[in-house]
């Protein structure tokens, strides 16, 4: 063994958010020797910030609700590049996963019948033939993510899961066959580095919204799993697809839930006009998020923005009345008062589209098995590596995620990964052990950083990276400006590889962690940039000024970014659900 401590488990889950803890729970309950490795105490994970709810056809608000309608909405919302077999799995298994959460104790809001309260969210209909707004998002007031994350942590405590809290995973360890056999990680409190050996490594590291200057994401959302996988040479799928949430609080970036519009709130421009009526005559403010975000930007660009700089619009809620706001949206009232200095009971909230969610990620099967491609473009399995949650791209969100589908994604595919890994381990899945040299290889980045005597400060480079992404790869994209952005990114990359630590102490050195996170941010940003530049069409969240139309002939495909060659390939979208007819691509209107 290398001269570092080795800890062994059958399975490790990197990340203690919704997906990670659901996977860890499943594995622990099946008796698999599992550890959940998380860089923050689990309830500090970003799932905690999810507000509006978890979309699922549990037929509470509408007894005739059907998961197939949910599936249709999701496929349409994705602009038809979600894999239909995966969406089918998520929507059909969803109710069971949600009921399990309730049985674990999640304090859902209730209807008079005592069932789980469901609210309307964007993009919800009653199937292909009935565009009536549905109410399918199960909610615990406007704190669903908080309630869900705490419930999952509690269930894991009950189940006896092993947590390695405040451990930071540095890089994947690969053996001679290119299988993943664990990670090198730092215990943040002591600075001690260890090799955590495992037969199955699950990346549940969440998103990377921090590649943008303005984001609803937590400061910890630095795409660590994506960064590790890219450095290990594994491909990423649909990385150009970044969701900009219509309602980030202007100036602060904090999120106000789509549930605000679900409960009856709407957006207005400087003329006081409810402009979404022009862009989406039927669904209005509850059209897909990409549609609403673009409409907002158009309003601002055409001079109808609000405020002295005319750079935001307003979310009107006061007409809902104080009672509804306090009952259904208490957290929003709190956030608006704190961050916008506005009381939604009396005044509208200033909002602006803000980076929110990464639809892309590590391509996986429904069971969380990470995939790569061979020379002929055929899917091949990456042995030992799994992913779930925002870090994975199964893909159920395609080019645009529907509100409330992320929490469902976490629990359904966290659970599915747990089930699949358990099965693989039971079948005797084994990997070849890594040699000392192979473990050493995964410590290269850490060594470089610890020994760098000269170089730039992390904060400076990070700021430039975030501004570059914001400017060149935002809501609207353009080939020429992206080319310029890519050039800038190349220069920033040089600086990223030359950062320096002024503080090399061991105990709780957050500077070291931030430096390591910057590497991951850069990996994600670069993958995003190449993918966005190469996808020459507009689809879902990817809107180009130079290719304004959807191009099904060439791009009804996943994009796949290969980090070693910095090349963008393609992968077929699954159009073969098992129990229902394929939803054929149509023009997407709301």
User: Which residues does the annotation mark as catalytic?
Assistant: 289
- Tell me the pairing of strands 5-14 and 192-203: parallel
Q: What does the alpha-carbon distance between residue 242 and residue 216 come to, in Å, rounded to a whole number?
A: 12
Placement of tokens 């092993």 in the chain? 162
Closest CA to 171 of 235, 230, 221, 237: 230
Q: What does the alpha-carbon distance between residue 386 and residue 378 come to, in Å, rounded to a whole number?
A: 18
The length of the chain, given as a count of residues: 590
Closest CA to 206 of 184, 228, 231: 228
Q: Cβ of residue 299: shortest distance to another protein, in angstroms?
A: 26
- Contact between residue 385 and residue 201 where contact means Cβ atoms under 8 Å apart: yes
Closest CA to 259 of 333, 161, 352, 350: 333
- Nearer to another protein among residue 220 and residue 394 (C-beta): 220
SS3 breakdown of the chain: % helix, strand, coil, rounded to 5? 40, 20, 40
- Nearer to another protein among residue 438 and residue 514 (C-beta): 514
- Nearer to another protein among residue 50 and residue 173 (C-beta): 50
Q: What does the alpha-carbon distance between residue 575 and residue 369 come to, in Å, rounded to a whole number?
A: 20
- Contact between residue 352 and residue 248 where contact means Cβ atoms under 8 Å apart: yes
Q: What does the alpha-carbon distance between residue 173 and residue 198 come to, in Å, rounded to a whole number?
A: 10
Q: Cβ of residue 241: shortest distance to another protein, in angstroms?
A: 24
Q: What element of type H or E holds 350?
A: strand 349-358
- Nearer to another protein among residue 83 and residue 166 (C-beta): 166
Burial class (CB within 10 angstroms; exposed 0-12, middle 13-18, buried 19+) of 157? exposed
- Nearer to another protein among residue 5 and residue 341 (C-beta): 341
- Nearer to another protein among residue 134 and residue 256 (C-beta): 256
- Nearer to another protein among residue 76 and residue 143 (C-beta): 143
HSE of 554, CA atoms in CB hemisphere, 13 A: 10
Placement of tokens 């091949």 in the chain? 380
Binding site for another protein (CB under 8 A): 40-41, 43-46, 48-49, 58, 95, 98-99, 102-105, 107-116, 140, 143, 146-147, 150, 154-155, 157-158, 189, 218-220, 252, 254-255, 331, 334-335, 338-339, 341, 457-459, 501-503, 505-511, 514
Q: Cβ of residue 164: shortest distance to another protein, in angstroms?
A: 14
Q: Cβ of residue 197: shortest distance to another protein, in angstroms?
A: 26
For residue 100, give Cα distances in angstroms to 25, 34, 265, 396, 413. 12, 21, 31, 21, 14
Q: What does the alpha-carbon distance between residue 395 and residue 393 come to, in Å, rounded to a whole number?
A: 4
Q: Where are the alpha helices (DSSP H) in 248-288?
A: 259-262, 276-279
Q: Cβ of residue 449: shortest distance to another protein, in angstroms?
A: 12
Q: Cβ of residue 413: shortest distance to another protein, in angstroms?
A: 21
What lies within 8 Å, CB to CB, of 491 at 6+ separation is none
Closest CA to 15 of 243, 242, 222, 231: 222
Q: Cβ of residue 542: shortest distance to another protein, in angstroms?
A: 27
- Nearer to another protein among residue 254 and residue 373 (C-beta): 254
Q: Cβ of residue 373: shortest distance to another protein, in angstroms?
A: 35
- Nearer to another protein among residue 189 and residue 565 (C-beta): 189
| Structure token pair of residue 111 | 């209807």
Q: What does the alpha-carbon distance between residue 138 and residue 23 come to, in Å, rounded to a whole number?
A: 21
Q: Cβ of residue 414: shortest distance to another protein, in angstroms?
A: 18
Longest dimension (CA), the chain: 69
């Amino acid at each position: 063994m290398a001269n570092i401590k080795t800890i062994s488990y059958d399975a490790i889950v990197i990340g203690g958010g919704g997906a990670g803890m659901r996977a860890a729970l499943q594995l622990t309950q099946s008796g698999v020797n599992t550890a959940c490795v998380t860089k923050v105490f689990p309830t500090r994970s970003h799932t905690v910030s999810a507000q509006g709810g978890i979309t699922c056809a549990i037929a509470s608000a509408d007894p005739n609700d059907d998961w197939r309608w949910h599936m249709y909405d999701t496929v349409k919302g994705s602009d038809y590049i979600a894999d239909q077999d995966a969406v089918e799995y998520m929507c059909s298994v969803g109710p069971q996963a949600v009921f399990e959460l309730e049985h674990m104790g999640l304090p859902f809001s209730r209807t008079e019948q005592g069932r789980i309260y469901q609210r309307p969210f964007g993009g919800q209909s009653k199937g292909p033939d009935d565009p009536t707004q549905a109410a399918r998002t199960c909610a615990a007031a406007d704190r669903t993510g908080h309630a869900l994350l705490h419930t999952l942590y509690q269930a894991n405590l009950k189940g006896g899961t092993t947590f390695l809290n405040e451990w930071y995973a540095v890089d994947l360890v690969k053996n001679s066959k290119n299988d993943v056999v664990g990670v090198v990680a730092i215990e943040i409190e002591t600075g001690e580095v260890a090799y955590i050996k495992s037969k199955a490594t699950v990346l549940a590291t969440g998103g990377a919204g921090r590649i943008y200057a303005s984001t609803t994401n937590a400061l910890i959302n630095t795409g660590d799993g994506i960064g590790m996988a890219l450095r290990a040479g594994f491909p990423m799928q649909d990385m150009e697809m970044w969701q900009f949430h219509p309602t980030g609080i202007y100036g602060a970036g904090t999120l106000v839930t789509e549930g605000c519009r679900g409960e009856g709130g709407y957006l207005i421009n400087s003329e006081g006009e409810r402009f979404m009526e022009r862009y989406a005559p039927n669904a209005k403010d509850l059209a897909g998020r990409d549609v609403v975000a673009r409409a907002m930007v158009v309003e601002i660009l055409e001079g109808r923005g609000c405020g002295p700089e005319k750079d935001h619009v307003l979310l009107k809620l006061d007409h809902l009345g104080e009672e509804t706001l306090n009952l259904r949206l208490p957290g929003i009232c709190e956030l608006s008062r704190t961050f916008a200095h506005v009381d939604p009971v009396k005044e509208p909230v200033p909002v602006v589209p803000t980076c929110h969610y990464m639809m892309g990620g590590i391509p996986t099967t429904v069971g969380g098995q990470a995939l790569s491609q061979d020379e002929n473009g055929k899917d091949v399995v990456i042995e030992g590596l799994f992913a779930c949650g925002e870090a994975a791209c199964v893909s159920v969100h395609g080019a645009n995620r529907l509100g409330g589908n992320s929490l469902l994604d976490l629990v359904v595919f966290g659970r599915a990964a747990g089930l699949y890994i358990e099965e693989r381990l039971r079948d005797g899945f084994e990997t070849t052990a890594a040699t000392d040299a192979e473990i050493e290889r995964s410590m290269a980045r850490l060594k470089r950083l610890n020994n760098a005597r000269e170089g730039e400060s992390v904060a400076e480079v990070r700021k430039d990276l975030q501004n570059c992404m914001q400017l060149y790869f935002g809501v609207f994209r353009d080939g020429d400006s992206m080319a310029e952005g890519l050039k800038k990114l190349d220069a920033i990359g040089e600086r990223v590889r030359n950062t320096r630590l002024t503080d090399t102490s061991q105990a709780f050195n957050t500077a070291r962690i931030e430096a390591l996170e910057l590497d991951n941010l850069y990996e994600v940003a670069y993958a995003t940039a190449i993918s966005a530049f190469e996808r020459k069409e507009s689809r879902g969240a990817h809107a180009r000024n130079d290719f304004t139309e959807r191009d099904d002939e060439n791009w009804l495909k996943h994009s796949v970014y290969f980090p070693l060659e910095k090349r963008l390939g393609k992968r077929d979208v699954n159009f073969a659900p098992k129990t229902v007819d394929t939803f054929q691509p149509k023009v997407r209107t709301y």
